[in-house]
């Protein structure tokens, strides 16, 4: 019988990396301050002492350089885990990720794979201002040749990584910074959920809340609030942003006949837009209301706490969008902004 332990997101990811390194000598971690400092978010704390500087490698402050080094190591047969401090900084390595990691298998006719895992912190809500707080998950989900995953539970923080390391192609893991301190139950054996599979976190009959990563807890809390009003919301955790698990999304929408997509990224041309479009393409005749969306305001995320909270998705905004869907309409922007 599997034992269940309670741990934080950072503890779960640290255990996942440590277990992978103990099991496979090809796995190593590299990135800014991952060694002596223990990671900018303390995720790799203590790993240098166990694995040494050959496998816990502090890098210069050059994302393009160390992501490129990770690509080279992967091609040469290693299984690197590259940590980028925050998603905003990953743009300095976008050339390496898109033009090399994502394309080499295709451009080599299948001869060269890049089994690389890139971890990066994403999301706001921590007063880190515009250069450290954005959710650019949708940018990377746009790129063929890579997989993009976003754990929203502590269990997935623990068990997604090994499946990413087993993949023959690049996998980007977006870790919402708000979940590092969150805690939750984690089984000591792999639950066996495929990397690309979405999961229904809460069953419901009246509408589907489709979300991922840091907005999953918001949607679960909103579902509790809606249940008190007699509205049973089903919460679908996408987990994988590329590829999207259309089958699970559509099965939920076909059962509930209403959908609200919740994404911490910007509304325009983001994950919420893609999921809403797919629902309209594949489940239009099952819908009893237009697909609603809750996303972050179209601004650089502010530093002041009250402005940051006003810009980002919240439980109240999700509830407002869900109530509108139950009335057969999309919430007026004012309803969602001021909720």
For the stretch 294-325, pLDDT in tens is 999 999 999 898 998 999 999 999 999 999 99
Fold of 199-338: Rossmann fold (3.40.50)
Contact 212, 246 (CB under 8 A): no
Span 123-178, pLDDT tens digits: 887 878 888 889 999 999 999 999 999 999 999 999 999 999 999 999 999 999 99
Phi, psi of 220 (to 5 degrees): -65, -40
If you average pLDDT over residues 277-304, what whole number do you get?
A: 95
Report the SS3 class of residue 271. Answer: helix
Structure tokens at 186: 């984690």
Instruction: Reply yes or no on whether the pLDDT at 270 is more than 90.
Output: yes
pTM beyond 0.85, yes or no = yes
Q: In the structure encoding, which two tokens stand for residue 281, read together? A: 């393409």
55-106 tens-digit pLDDT: 999 999 999 999 999 999 999 999 999 999 999 999 999 999 999 999 999 9
Between the alpha carbon of residue 287 and those of residues 66, 193, 233, 250, 283, the distances in Å are 47, 28, 15, 11, 7
Comparing C-alpha atoms, which of 282, 231, 229 is closest to residue 253? 282
Indicate the DSSP class of residue 211: E
CATH class entry, domain 4-187: alpha beta
What are 92-96's contacts with CB under 8 Å, separation 24+? 92/62, 92/63, 92/64, 93/63, 93/64, 93/67, 93/68, 95/64, 96/64, 96/67, 96/68, 96/71
* Cβ neighbours of residue 23 closer than 8 Å, sequence gap 6 or more: none
Q: What is the CA radius of gyration of the chain?
A: 20
Can you give the pLDDT at residue 127?
76
**Residue 243: is the preceding peptide bond cis (ω within 30°)?**
yes
Supply the residues annotated as catalytic. Answer: 63, 132
Domain segments of the chain as ranges: 4-187, 199-338
Report the pLDDT value the prediction gives residue 307, as an integer from 0 to 100.
92
Residue 285 banded pLDDT, cuts 50, 70, 90: very high
Average pLDDT score over residue span 4-15: 96
Q: Say yes or no to pLDDT of 339 above 80.
A: no
Three-state DSSP class for residue 189: coil
Report the Cα 178 to chain-centroid distance in Å.
12
Angle at 91 between CA 239 and CA 134, to 5 degrees: 55
- Is 199-338 the same fold as 4-187? yes
What is the SS3 assignment for 155?
helix
Name the maximum alpha-carbon separation found in the chain: 59
Q: Are the beta carbons of 211 and 37 closer than 8 angstroms? A: no
Q: What angle do CA 272, 273, 276 make, to 5 degrees?
A: 80
């Amino acid at each position: 019988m599997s034992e269940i332990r309670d741990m934080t997101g950072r503890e779960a990811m640290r255990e996942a990396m440590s277990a992978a390194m103990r099991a496979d000598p090809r796995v190593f971690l590299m990135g800014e301050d991952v060694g002596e400092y223990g990671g900018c978010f303390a995720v790799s704390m203590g790993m240098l002492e166990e694995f040494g500087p050959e496998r816990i490698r502090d890098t210069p402050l050059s994302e393009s350089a160390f992501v490129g080094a990770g690509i080279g190591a992967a091609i040469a047969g290693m299984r690197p885990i590259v940590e980028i401090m925050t998603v905003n900084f990953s743009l300095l390595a976008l050339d390496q990720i898109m033009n090399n990691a994502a394309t080499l298998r295709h451009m080599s006719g299948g001869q060269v794979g890049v089994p690389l895992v890139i971890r990066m912190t994403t999301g706001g809500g921590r007063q880190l201002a515009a250069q450290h707080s954005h959710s650019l998950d949708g940018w990377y989900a746009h790129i063929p040749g890579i997989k993009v995953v976003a754990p929203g539970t502590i269990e997935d923080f623990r068990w997604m990584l090994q499946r990413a390391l087993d993949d023959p192609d690049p996998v980007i893991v977006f870790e919402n910074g708000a979940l590092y301190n969150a805690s939750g139950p984690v089984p000591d054996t792999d639950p066996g959920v495929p990397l690309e599979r979405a999961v229904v976190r809460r069953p419901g009959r009246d509408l589907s809340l489709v979300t991922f990563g840091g907005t999953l807890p918001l949607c679960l809390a909103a579902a509790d609030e809606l249940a008190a009003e007699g509205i049973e919301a089903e919460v679908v955790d996408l987990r994988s942003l590329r590829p999207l698990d259309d089958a699970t999304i559509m099965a939920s929408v076909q059962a509930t006949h209403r959908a609200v997509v919740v994404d911490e990224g910007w509304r325009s041309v983001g994950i919420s837009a893609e999921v809403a479009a797919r629902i309209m393409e594949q489940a239009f005749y099952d819908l009893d209301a237009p697909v609603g969306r809750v996303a972050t305001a179209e601004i650089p995320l502010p530093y002041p706490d009250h402005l940051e909270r006003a810009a980002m998705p919240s439980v109240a905004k999700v509830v407002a969008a869900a109530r509108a869907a139950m009335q057969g309409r999309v919430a007026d922007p004012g309803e969602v902004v001021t909720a």
